[in-house]
Amino acid sequence: MANIVVIGLFSIVLLCIAAAQGRKTLHLTNEWLTSYPVIHDIDGICKTMVETQGYTCEEHKVITEDGYILSLQRLPVGRSGKKADKPPVLLQHGIFSDAITWLFNPPDESLGFILADNGYDVWLANTRGTKYSSGHTSLNPNDMAYWDWSWDELASYDLPAFVQYVYNQTGQRVHYAGHSLGTLTALAAFSQGQVLNMLRSAALLSPIAHMYQITSLPTKLAADTFIADAVYWLGLRELIPHGDVAAKLMEDICDTLNLDCSNLMTLFTGPNCCINSSRIDDFLDHEPQPTATKNLIHLAQMIRTGNIAKYDYDDQEQNMQHYGQPVPPPYDMTEIPNEFPLFLSYGGQDMLSDVKDVQVLLNDLKDHDGNKLVELLMENYAHLDFVMGVNANQMIYDPMMAFFKDN
């Protein structure tokens, strides 16, 4: 059961379903009201995940314009002890995870360590609401208001804060690499001309922009369920998918939807070819991380409509209040500057960043300068192979570093 839960929880969709199906359970247990633990520096990602592998690591903090206190980790030196002589790279994880995503496999398979060993100055971002970024100047995670955000805010506040901070600290323009939701927030920001002046390039793994043609039927059903009762879900504020309740939820889901539980990972993220399954239990110690239910509803809106737009309050007056217009303003991917270097890598088996939707994005980018757009399709990869695949070092990270070198 543990394996199924942890893998499933990686995906947007599974949690939508889990939440939808588990409504009664959540009411009964109040698990989602768990108080946040105080994190001492000694517990941090540097201490637990980086220094243990023999690497130097620094903890940093940045405060967003809307008051969230976010943590970053820096690996300024490779395993050899040689100081970075290449530009900074900022790594942005996806939904339900944090910077540990980039450190979880052994050093020669994890992008965070690989970049440091190759002379890059590595910076790892942790978005709001995750364990090591749960601070705020006036709110705390037990407040409703703390969770009043979707990926709009990740794009307009968290991302600029991270990029500006690394740019300030290093005095250099930055390479960006994101996975999954960490690509959507970047694309949204780029389409509005944000942060580009501080970046050299961006590598997008499992790029998410359009989400209309995702190939998983349960995913579509989940999105519908979520939207149908958005008011209720918003009342839950955040989703912390840990523990026995999550396991119970999964069982209920399997029964209700008549799914083969041994195959949940395939059903939701696609058949990941290349993950070492014996590491999954270790992974449970660190992940998954909570997210705002508003964020999940925003994603469900995209799956429903096929649009990439700001969060829809589903109420003309509220939309007017927030946006000065009755419908949420779209993010126009064709506005991404044609000369900005982009590396897009996507998987033939990925059910969240599915090939058809990626092709719609590539069509949006059809006027992009040919030598500023690298496209890498991995036929046998699904969603999680890009960060956990045991051969991602050769298949994805080597070509990515070649791209960084050129830009």
User: What is the contact surface with ligand NAG in residues (CB under 6 A)?
Assistant: 62, 161, 164-165, 168, 276, 278-279, 390
Residue closer to ligand NAG (CB basis): 165 or 404:
165
Annotated catalytic, 180?
yes
Residue closer to ligand NAG (CB basis): 13 or 49:
49
Question: Would you say 278 and 43 are in contact if contact means Cβ atoms under 8 Å apart?
Answer: no
Residue closer to ligand NAG (CB basis): 39 or 280:
280
CB of 405 to ligand NAG, least distance (A): 27
Question: Would you say 249 and 4 are in contact if contact means Cβ atoms under 8 Å apart?
Answer: no
CB of 386 to ligand NAG, least distance (A): 17
**3-class secondary structure per residue, the chain:** CHHHHHHHCCCHHHHHHHHHHCHHHHHHHCHHHCCCCCCCHHHCHHHHHHHHHCCCCEEEEEECCCCEEEEEEEECECCCCCECCCCEEEEECCCCCCHHHHCCCCCCCCHHHHHHHCCCEEEEECCCCCHHHCEECCCCCCCHHHHCCCHHHHHHHHHHHHHHHHHHHHCCCEEEEEECHHHHHHHHHHHCCCCHHHEEEEEEECCCCCCCCCCCHHHHHHHHHHHHCHHHHHHCCEECCCHHHHHHHHHHHHHHHCCCHHHHHHHHHCCCCCECHHHHHHHHCCCCCCEEHHHHHHHHHHHHHCCCECCCCCCHHHHHHHHCCCCCCECCHHHCCCCCCEEEEEECCCCCCCHHHHHHHHHHCCCCCHHHEEEEEECCCCCCHHHHECCHHHHHHHHHHHHHHHC
Catalytic residue among 180, 201, 216, 345: 180
CB of 392 to ligand NAG, least distance (A): 12
CB of 166 to ligand NAG, least distance (A): 9
What lies within 8 Å, CB to CB, of 314 at 6+ separation is 230
Residue closer to ligand NAG (CB basis): 159 or 250:
159
Residue closer to ligand NAG (CB basis): 194 or 305:
194
Catalytic residue among 133, 357, 383, 385: 383
CB of 279 to ligand NAG, least distance (A): 5
Distance CA 35, CA 60 (A): 24
Catalytic residue among 350, 354, 357, 385: 350
CB of 105 to ligand NAG, least distance (A): 8
CB of 198 to ligand NAG, least distance (A): 10
Annotated catalytic, 383?
yes
Residue closer to ligand NAG (CB basis): 119 or 160:
160
Region for residue 136 given its phi and psi (left: phi exceeds 0; alpha: psi -120 to 50; beta: otherwise): beta
Residue closer to ligand NAG (CB basis): 168 or 262:
168
Query: Residues with catalytic annotation?
Result: 180, 350, 383
